[in-house]
Amino acid sequence: MTSDTQEMGVKRSAKGLVARDGFSTSLGVLAATLGSAVGLGNIWKFPYLTGENGGAAFILVYVIATLLVGLPVMISEHMLGRRARADAIQTLRVLAPKRQPWWLIGAAGCLSAFLILAFYTEVAGWVFAYIFKALTGSILSTDPTQTSGVFNDMATDPAQSLIWQWVVLAVVGAIIMLGVSKGIERATKRLMPVLFVLLIAVCVRSLTLDGAGEGVKFLLRPDFSKLSGEVLLVAMGLAFFKLSIGMGTMITYGSYFRRNQNIPVTASRVMLADLSVSLLAGMAIFPAVFAFGFSPDAGPSLLFITIPAVFASMPLGEVFIIFFFVLTAIAATGAMLSLFEVPVAVLNEQLGLSRVKATLLTMGLLVLVGAPAALSNSTLDDFKLFDKTMFDLYDYATSNILMPVGGLFLALFVGWVWGYDQVKSALSNDGALRNERVIRAFFGVVKFVTPVLVTLVLLDGLNII
């Protein structure tokens, strides 16, 4: 089985006459996969959703969703990708019984990748712009009306919005063109340690402020009255978004894993490290927000309006704010690389386009799909579907619907179609690892718990039950 499917992977890419690229070391696998998981999700979404939904209780639900839904789906994706050694669509086509349309999960994943990138590149564009504003000091004011003026001037200017999005697309596209091992792996291996160091520095600064205790309490002391069906849905959506699952990213990365990679261990490490980054980001942000009397529930603009005012209020803030936006830009870049790789791998391996052409085509399509999101605060701010701007719609539809549905079908596929024997041989590296207990626990959860939870939360959150 292994050699057959591996053969297939090699033969298909042999069209290009070279063996299939992949991650070259175990550390590289970890850096790239963690680079995918860690992103604006940790530093922009996690804090603002925690702030809006009442703090510790939301975090608790999010952690449960990560364990019972996120981790099993991530293990599933790595496992399937590595078995098939192919892009997201082809992986499910090769592994599913004939004439069953499971490949649609991969196809829906490509669509999600575009929709996510459309708004993600816009937020990343603001982050890139903020590095320059932090260097010149133009965002530093203790008065939130001032910082909100700076943000609005940028976000409501169509030209600036589009240009920053294109800058981001160009940076990410350039790394993708270099390939999997020379581009993605090398970039993430160098950048991830920088991110950690900067994040810890900002955390220490925030926690040593007078009055930091309120913010720590907000993060650790749950108030369950804040929970509702919609909040559960949002927490689960965040678990999907955070771990880059439910749309083929982790299948694609799994296809570059080494044959002796211990998948359950790797996925658990990524999950834990990612959770730590989110909590550190919370610790970097909320103690400072509370210490200076700002409100935690500012929503998506927390990062761009509240944070600069918070930093302007603290000693050495003008230095730490540069750290902060550089680390956010690094995080966003690693995540966008993995999103880009989904369509690029499909175009490269299914349509036989060269990597450079596949990347250019993806960039071109993103200029088109991304523009409505980029212009959501300016030219198109009145254009709404389902009562949401295109920016919000892309975000909501992917996190709260497409990815959970993709994850649901992946779990069903692994638990009910692929079955225990295949899972066992895939996760034990064909018997080389003695991890049967772990495999059994994983299989039980992915077969029964994950599908039921995802279905219930989807139905409840979308007000169907």
Can you give the binding site for ligand TRP, defined by CB under 6 A? Answer: 36-37, 39-42, 116, 241-242, 244, 247, 249, 335, 338-339
Amino acid identity, position 39: G
Choice between 106 and 144, CB closer to ligand TRP: 106
State the DSSP code for 97: P
In whole angstroms, the minimum distance from the beta carbon of 71 to ligand TRP comes to 14
| Distance in angstroms (rounded) separating the CA atoms of residues 147 and 130 | 11
Strands, DSSP E only, in 133-187? none
| Cβ-proximal residues to 40 (8 Å cutoff; 6+ apart), any chain | 120, 123, 124, 127, 328, 331, 332, 335
Closest by Cα among 150, 116, 89 to 308 = 150
3-state class percentages of the chain: helix first, strand second, coil last, to nearest 5: 80, 0, 20
Choice between 150 and 339, CB closer to ligand TRP: 339
Choice between 39 and 264, CB closer to ligand TRP: 39
Using CA atoms, how far residue 399 sits from 239, 245, 395, 419, in Å, is 9, 10, 6, 28
Counting every residue written for the chain, the total comes to 465
In whole angstroms, the minimum distance from the beta carbon of 33 to ligand TRP comes to 10
In whole angstroms, the minimum distance from the beta carbon of 109 to ligand TRP comes to 8
> Per the structure block, which two tokens stand in for 327?
């680390």
Q: Are 465 and 459 in contact (CB under 8 A)?
A: yes
Choice between 241 and 286, CB closer to ligand TRP: 241
Strands, DSSP E only, in 79-224? none
Closest by Cα among 116, 402, 393 to 237 = 402
Choice between 310 and 335, CB closer to ligand TRP: 335
Choice between 312 and 332, CB closer to ligand TRP: 332
In whole angstroms, the minimum distance from the beta carbon of 343 to ligand TRP comes to 12
In whole angstroms, the minimum distance from the beta carbon of 241 to ligand TRP comes to 5
In whole angstroms, the minimum distance from the beta carbon of 271 to ligand TRP comes to 11
User: What single string gives the DSSP state of each residue in 19-47?
Assistant: PPP---SHHHHHHHHHHHHSSHIIIIIHH
Number of H helices, E strands in the chain: 23, 0
CA 424 to chain centre: 28
| Distance in angstroms (rounded) separating the CA atoms of residues 251 and 249 | 5
In whole angstroms, the minimum distance from the beta carbon of 40 to ligand TRP comes to 4
> Per the structure block, which two tokens stand in for 457?
């939360």
In whole angstroms, the minimum distance from the beta carbon of 428 to ligand TRP comes to 27
In whole angstroms, the minimum distance from the beta carbon of 231 to ligand TRP comes to 19
Beta bridge partners of 388: 385
Choice between 81 and 317, CB closer to ligand TRP: 81
Choice between 244 and 255, CB closer to ligand TRP: 244
Residue nearest to ligand TRP (CB): 41
Choice between 112 and 313, CB closer to ligand TRP: 112
| Distance in angstroms (rounded) separating the CA atoms of residues 234 and 232 | 5
> Per the structure block, which two tokens stand in for 166?
């294109």
In whole angstroms, the minimum distance from the beta carbon of 326 to ligand TRP comes to 16
Choice between 63 and 433, CB closer to ligand TRP: 63
